[in-house]
Structure 1
Amino acid sequence: MTHLEALAKAEQYQSKMAKIAKKSYWKPQYHISAPANWINDPNGFCYFNGEYHVFYQYHPYSSQWGPMHWGHVASKDLVNWKTKPIALAPTDEYDKDGCFSGSAIEKDNTLYLFYTGHVVLDKENDKDDAQLQTQCVAISEDGISFKKLENNPIINIDSFPEDLNILKEHFRDPKVWKYNDMYYKVVGAQTTEKTGQALIYKSKDLLNWEFVNVMAMSTEEENLGFMWECPNFAEIDNYEVLILSPQGVEPEGNKFLNLHQSGYFLGKMDYNTGIFERENDFEMLDYGFDFYAPQIMQDEKNNRCLMIGWLAMWESEMPEQEEGWAGMMSIPRVLEVKNNKVYSLPIPELKKLRKNNVNYDVNLVQNCILEGINGDCYELNTVFDLTKANGFNLKLRVSENEETVISYDKNSKIFKLNRDKSGKGVTGEREVKVNLQDEKISLQIFSDYSSLEIFINGGEYVISSRIYPTQEATGIVFEPMGEIKAKIDFYEI
């Protein structure tokens, strides 16, 4: 089957399944999701031909993971996204079992998609070592139809020195950027010693790549996992940042509790040696249940660094699979560095979605419901002054027997999200230690039909999670522990 035939077949099946998926109450209103079926990592986040583009790992034939295609959406404003034709399908010898994750960059009015070709060498053997991963490219002049390069793969496993001990089956997720007159590409890898590495390549033309060095690596002594997925090199407010999604990091207190993690190192990039010198410990980008494989783009038009992530986690419950779809993206976030820490803020463009504002400037002294503050799709902004209080519970998506509870305890400084009663299939708690600012804590909360994203103290911490309440769960209850001076700003979306 040709690539065009495979894409047409996938589109046809997607259309059929979309009729089922669109009936699902949990399908997001303002987050990116596919018309139907399974999605995971965001890919190819870029700006091209007057639009922002996000591609994503996609299995168009089922709501379970399967041979990866690249789905595609585009937007002029990062808020209203339109589904575009499926961009890549696994049809060639070098990618026949999946067009895995990658990135995009524009050169000479042409859009280049860099992706990992995935091949299972032995179908009878489901072990990792029966697989092969290489780096490939597809190009487009209109940003819609992509042609794979005839001489793919452009980077093979013989591209790096043998003594690096890189496994052929764990060499993936190329992220490309330009620095001066040279293009650079970082690729995630695993060694035979089961440690993660980020390998860096350079090219003048995006087609011929030369291995430079191991850009960064973990050691067996460090708790940094056995494989570094989805590496991104970011420039944020004159800081250089390496963003990673390591697999196999062990829990440490309230950190690293998900199956896999997403986080970052601040550091310094030496382009002469190709080495990124880490300057801090690995820090998390999101403390919730569901945020993985983020990808950044340098939004040069607005002089900022944007990030979007997969709002899910491997091996988590996904009740929406029964309704013909699985997975969604986070809202796009602006990254900033303050106090040697990466902050994540919702993009200001999301203000376009605001409707029917209700606001209160009020003293909360007992459990209460505030008139006009309820719903399932909304933005809720609060500033709580806890000078005369020990903390609070804020209950969201409340019905007779459902609630998603966020809470803060002033003595322990622990901020929690509890989803034991958040609906179908999900339970558990996540927490982060938060210092008050002048006795105050500020929250910016984005609720969609089956997700919550909570930005704490101007994006110092974020907690993102999927939840699966019923349509009746629209209540919001404020429970102060003492007297709270509260500023509350609510918008329907």
Structure 2
Amino acid sequence: METYNLEKYRPNLHFAPQKNWMNDPNGLIYFNGEYHLFFQHNPHDSIWGPMHWGHAVSKDMITWEELEIALYPDELGTIFSGSTVVDWNNTSGFFPDEPGMVAIFTHHLDGTDQTPPVQTQSLAYSHDKGRTWTKYEGNPVLKHSTKLDFRDPKVFWHDQTEKWIMVLATGQTISLYSSPNLIDWQLESEFGEGIGSHDGVWECPDLFELTVENSGEKKWVLFVSIGDDPQFESGSRTQYFIGSFDGSTFTAENNEIQWVDFGKDNYAGVSFSDVPKDDGRRIYLGWMSNWRYANQVPTEGWRSQMTLPRTLALRNIEDKLLVVQRPVKELDQYFVKKLDLNDVTIKSGEQKTYNIDGSSVEFVLNIENMNSKEYGLVIAHTETQNTVITIDPITNQLIVDRKNSGQVDFSENFSNRQEMKINTTDHVNLRIILDASSIEVFVNDGAYALTSLIFPDKTCEQVSIFSSAGDIKIANGYISASES
């Protein structure tokens, strides 16, 4: 029997399965004091295979308890992605006594030599806070006679029309359906033809309302993940559209392509349902991997982790509305400040080096560029392994280079250099979260995000802040580390 080191590369702050394979987050919801994370799961192997819904719960979205598998394959197929809702008013008839949870998911039935694969939408419901599930005897509740890609339902209650709305990935478009009871569905509209990126199949949609910072104005936002197409360099990634929704039709206001994340490793993300109104946050979570190499990453006995949960908002940046994202405030309690950095000048060609140790590390730096043409950080995991973050004010780019970050040779597609365009004016705010096998970079209070896997032997030993062509000043900032 093969033995594995299940702890190597295991994250401290990110959810990862105890063993075997995980991909898309599913059914994110808050109910009765718990956050629920369901996820695509193969319980038999650490590569993709017959899909089940794994299940974990948390009080704060950082520390998770993995529970028993929620949904198993059956005669209708394996259990692909979907969502959960709380049926507060018993519209379904499943909950005559008290509200409960309903899962809306895709059944995927493999094709044969004579027949194509079939994807249909089905229901399951729970009376015990998601611990056990009963599949609806009338499954499937939605099917299509011609569409082969017909999956990943995200469902929410629309107050204005008093109906359930389903956004569904249908090939290269998103189809919107409505229902009074979660059982009987009617097609309302279709979105996506001739707009956005079509570099791969459209997957894992999410539709929700966000508030514009400092204005109170609200807009509807549609997230659409794009599957991996080998002819394009990027692999799988996620785009978004900003616009309006009238209960039937989503209308985009932006024609240009907008990306949720500029790193290689944030895909299939969706938001939590039923976060209490007095909280008010729209919280998002993604799968931290890329289909280009997800089955090859060098963890043993388990594969994949989720991103940190992030609070979403809209911000007007240079007369354009953009989605901004920040790690949830619950993360703060996991770090202890180790070092304050205030009014630190770094001259051209110099660097300041700080020793830092922890299973996870946080860097928060407010940097004033005095006249530098290139500056950044070298995060030394060990003496021979490092990840380099460089800011180039000439090209307005932030670059994360992971070519020396540890184990990188498991796939030729594990590209070394990741770039994102940022606003590199005289002042740049950086927040960097480093875990055992990941780095997440947030720039200018979440205006830009880059998520990347790395596989070093150790999280961090020291960090060097450098300026190679001109001076910079750290106006204020700090380095924190987790205690565990």
Q: TM-score, normalising length from structure 1?
A: 0.86
Matching residue's letter, 1:296: S
Q: In structure 2, what is the Cα distance between the partners aligned to 1:138 and 1:318?
A: 29
Asked if the contact 2:354–2:463 (Cα under 8 Å) also holds between the matched residues in 1, the reply is no
* Residues 403, 119 of structure 1: alpha-carbon distance in 2 compared, 3 angstrom cutoff: same
User: CA separation in 2, counterparts of 1:451 and 1:135?
Assistant: 34
Aligned to 2:293, what secondary structure does the other structure show? coil
Is residue 475 of structure 2 the alignment partner of residue 492 of structure 1? Answer: no
2:285 maps to 308
What residue identity is the alignment partner of 1:27? R
Q: Deviations over 1:110-159 (max 9, x none)?
A: 1011110000131x58xxx721100011100112111111111111114x
The aligned counterpart of 1:455 is 442
Q: Secondary structure at the match of 1:170?
A: coil
- Residue 200 (str. 1) matches residue 176 (str. 2): yes
- Size of the aligned set, in residue pairs, is 447
Q: How far apart are 1:489 and its partner, in Å? A: 0.8
Distance 1:335-1:278 versus aligned 2 partners, 3 A rule: same
Letter in 1 for 2:345: N
Cα pair 1:374 1:475 within 8 Å, conserved: yes
1:359 aligns with 2:340: yes
Alpha-carbon distance, 1:275 to partner? 1.7
Contact 1:185 1:201 in 2 (8 A): yes
Q: Which residue of 2 aligns with 1:94?
A: 76
Equivalent position of 1:212 in the other structure: 188
Report the Cα offset of residue 353 of structure 1.
Answer: 0.4
Deviation at 1:320, TM superposition (A): 5.0
Question: Residues 162-181 of structure 1 correspond to what in structure 2 (within 5 A)?
Answer: 166-167=146-147, 169-180=148-159, 181=162
- What is the match of residue 225 of structure 1? 199
**Amino acid aligned to 1:213:** S
- CA deviations over 1:363-406 (Å, ceiling 9, x no partner): 12254344443445111111111023222131114423211111
Question: Does the CA contact (< 8 Å) of 1:319 and 1:424 recur in 2?
Answer: no
**Secondary structure in 1 matching 2:390:** strand
Letter matched to residue 76 of structure 1: K
Alignment of 1:332-411 (within 5 A): 332-339=309-316, 340-361=321-342, 362-365=344-347, 366-411=349-394
In the TM superposition, residue 317 of structure 1 has moved relative to its aligned partner by 5.6
What is the identity, as a one-letter code, of the residue corresponding to 2:478? D
1:246 matched to 2:246: no
Equivalent residue, structure 2, for 1:467: 454
Partner Cα separation in structure 2 for residue 319 and residue 94 of structure 1: 30
1:288 aligns to 2:263 (yes or no)? yes
Q: Please list the CA deviations of residues 417-469 of structure 1 after superposition, one character each: whole Å capped at 9, or x if unmatched.
A: 111111112442111121134x0111111111000000011111101010011
- Name the CA distance, whole Å, in 2 between partners of 1:430 and 1:322: 22
Which structure: greater helix fraction?
A: 1
2:31 matched to which residue of 1?
48
What is the match of residue 185 of structure 1? 166
Deviation readout 1:456-493 (Å, 9 max, x if unpaired): 11111101010011128533111113221112311112
Amino acid at match of 2:86: E
Deviation of 1:322 after TM superposition, in Å, equals 5.2
Q: Which moved more, 1:298-307 or 1:174-183?
A: 298-307
- 1:368 is paired with a residue whose SS is strand
Q: Is 1:113 aligned with 2:103?
A: yes
- Alpha-carbon deviation of 1:82? 1.1
1:291–1:309: 8 Å Cα contact kept in structure 2? yes
Q: Retained in 2: the 8 A contact 1:393–1:479?
A: yes
Equivalent in the alignment of 1:161: none
Amino acid in the other structure paired with 1:488: G
SS of residue paired to 1:352: helix
Task: Return 313-322 or 450-459, whichever deviates more.
Answer: 313-322
The residue identity in structure 2 corresponding to 1:244 is: V
Q: Distance in 2 between matches of 1:417 and 1:33?
A: 23
Please say if 1:278 is aligned against 2:252: yes
Residue matched to 1:259:
235
Question: 1:259 Cα deviation (Å)?
Answer: 1.1
Contact 2:263 2:451 in 1 (8 A): yes
Counterparts in 2 of 1:369 and 1:304: CA distance versus 1, 3 Å: same
- Correspondence 1:91-170 to 2 at 5 A: 92-95=74-77, 98-108=78-88, 109-122=99-112, 130-142=116-128, 143-158=130-145, 166-167=146-147, 169-170=148-149
2:220–2:243 CA contact under 8 A, matched in 1: yes
AA matched with 2:104: F
Identical aligned residues as a percent: 30
The answer on whether the counterparts of 1:189 and 1:198 sit within 8 Å (CA) in structure 2 is yes
User: Which deviates the most, 454-463 or 353-362?
Assistant: 353-362
TM-score of the pair, normalised by structure 2: 0.87
Q: For 1:467 and 1:199, how far apart are their aligned partners in 2? A: 36
Partner of 1:297: 272
- Is 1:26 matched up with 2:9? yes
Q: Distance in 1 between matches of 2:337 and 2:312?
A: 29
Deviation string for 1:297-334 (max 9, x for gaps)? 25234112110000000021666555101100000001
| Aligned equivalents of 1:490, 1:105: Cα separation in 2 | 39
Cα distance in 2 for partners of 1:423, 1:322 equals 13
> 1: CA distance between counterparts of 2:230 and 2:18?
35
The AA in structure 2 aligned to 1:231 is P
Whichever residue aligns with residue 130 of structure 1, its letter is P
Give 5+ residue unaligned stretches, structure 2: 89-98, 212-217, 409-413
Amino acid at match of 1:121: G
CA distance in 2, matches of 1:146, 1:21: 33
Partners of 1:383 and 1:257 in 2: CA distance = 33
> Relative CO higher for 1 or 2, CA cutoff 8 Å, sep ≥ 6?
2
In structure 2, the CA distance between the partners of 1:422 and 1:70, relative to structure 1 (3 Å rule), is same
After superposition, give the CA deviation of every residue in 1:278-312 in whole Å (9 maximum; x if it has no partner). 11122000000101000112523411211000000
Asked if 1 retains the 8 angstrom alpha-carbon contact of 2:431 and 2:443, the reply is yes
Q: Secondary structure at the match of 1:338?
A: strand
- Residue type at the aligned position of 1:261: R
Residues in 2 aligned to 1:36 and 1:233: alpha-carbon distance in whole angstroms: 32
Match of 1:6 in 2: none
SS of equivalent to 1:349: helix
2:95 aligned partner: none
Per-residue Cα deviation, 1:322-356 (whole angstroms, up to 9, x for no partner) = 51011000000011101110001111111010124
- Cα distance change on mapping 1:370 and 1:20 into 2, 3 Å: same
Conserved 8 A contact 2:283-2:309: yes
